[in-house]
Structure 1
């Protein structure tokens, strides 16, 4: 069965101890999901506080205003740590890893007015960038601007393909697919909020399932959300979960609350 360790990550290893891995992305210091400390096992409260202080000192040195932890895969935080996290105003979230054989993908109808294409040239890339810029403005102009270089790097990467969905010539949905020898991973799955419930997310997934052929398709989604219920309805299978704890320790102009990137297409 696939595990979270097999999903795509855009960070590099900083440090390893007997109970955690520390990861960082110097090019993307503003992205919470790329700058994390991941526990290898459930720590004691004393160990957690030690890791917390070390991570906070590191983040402040790097001029980052947040700390972001992940529990060991398929393990809850202990009751003692959960109480501490609540007292210290952490946001606790849960993600699920789902997988599907493309031939098992279920949908009840198609919207043939929607066309889906790989972003394969500069014109399509500009359309993709413009769409993502508008979506990211909810997190501030600076954040939206910084994410543009991130998307261009993904366009260049041989491991990643970007997808645009069109309705009447307008981009109304996007996704990234990450290619490996065994899997295709769906990431940054977005549908224009004003075009929800029009089958856009379904058409994007139909397109991806055709590309996958004999490879399994996987994604990470926020647990017990409208999006996760949709994926189960489409016959995705549960592979595991992981908990995270997040806190910002000073006010900043960039807001990027941790949220899995597959969740926005929840009403497609």
Structure 2
């Protein structure tokens, strides 16, 4: 697992520009999706460079109807005190993600419960969207509408496979699988609040382990989210971190 890195995580959106310092994702068809309109630094910028980049990104985002600013700093590098102070002064939210990995054999649990986990089909896409909407609502109605349209549009995507879990024929959980040659990434993992702590998440991860074959299973977790404690208990191994800054509304 030592070769696993943040660069293995699937990136949504259109890569508009790349040089030796950064990658710029700019996606006019998804203006409100933060991850699809984001800069990823390959090298930690100076304070002066970041301030200049804010102005450039603001211009680019406004031109396509994006109303946010988003930057991801290099893997395993922490912004220095001067940069962190300016991030706070400019009202950006500073957070970090952690990358975890596990082998299918280590993830598989012998415990079984009566949960039906399956890949989403044309017949079950609306069930998937019903669960998705519950988690998407916290981002606002525009996000619900745009993300729903994108999911329908990308349903036949060969890279992303969507998974749904049923309990007593009721859709209760969803996740996405991003398939690569050596890895299988879990994304968009959620179980409806009413059905949490019933073993549904474990049943869904068993399903992932079964379809992963010999590929390493990877995921990213919010560094400040208690969900990462669950992953550690399941045997996931911490790999690395990356800091992100986000401003949801451009002044």
> Which of the five TM-score ranges fits, normalised by the shorter chain?
over 0.9
Deviations 1:43-81 (A, max 9, x none): 111111111111111112222111000001111112111
Q: Which residue of 2 aligns with 1:192?
A: 192
**1:134 positional shift:** 3.5
**1:108 positional shift:** 7.7
Q: Which residue of 1 aligns with 2:240?
A: 240
Q: d(CA) in 2 for partners of 1:92 and 1:138?
A: 19
Please identify, of 152-161 and 73-82, the stretch whose mean Cα deviation from structure 2 is larger: 152-161
Q: Is the 8 A contact 1:29 1:35 kept in 2?
A: yes
**1:133 positional shift:** 2.4
Q: Which residue of 2 aligns with 1:179?
A: 179
**1:107 positional shift:** 4.7
Please identify, of 125-134 and 205-214, the stretch whose mean Cα deviation from structure 2 is larger: 125-134
Q: d(CA) in 1 for partners of 2:140 and 2:15?
A: 29
Please identify, of 228-237 and 7-16, the stretch whose mean Cα deviation from structure 2 is larger: 7-16
Counterparts of residues 97-136 of structure 1 (less than 5 Å) = 97-105=99-107, 107=109, 109-110=111-112, 112-120=113-121, 122-136=122-136
Q: Which residue of 2 aligns with 1:148?
A: 148
Change (3 A) 1:160 1:123: same
| TM-score in terms of structure 1 length | 0.88
**1:148 positional shift:** 1.1
Q: d(CA) in 2 for partners of 1:22 and 1:57?
A: 13
Q: Which residue of 1 aligns with 2:162?
A: 162
Aligned CA RMSD, in angstroms, stands at: 1.7
**1:100 positional shift:** 0.5
Change (3 A) 1:250 1:50: closer
Please identify, of 67-76 and 20-29, the stretch whose mean Cα deviation from structure 2 is larger: 20-29
Q: Is the 8 A contact 2:69 2:250 kept in 1?
A: no
| TM-score in terms of structure 2 length | 0.93
Q: Which residue of 2 aligns with 1:260?
A: none
Classify the secondary structure of the residue corresponding to 1:95: strand
Aligned pair partner of 1:12 in 14, 28, 38:
14
**1:30 positional shift:** 0.9
**Which stretches of structure 1, 4 residues or longer, exceed 4 Å deviation after superposition?**
none
Q: Which residue of 2 aligns with 1:54?
A: 56
Q: d(CA) in 2 for partners of 1:10 and 1:205?
A: 23
Q: Which residue of 1 aligns with 2:36?
A: 34
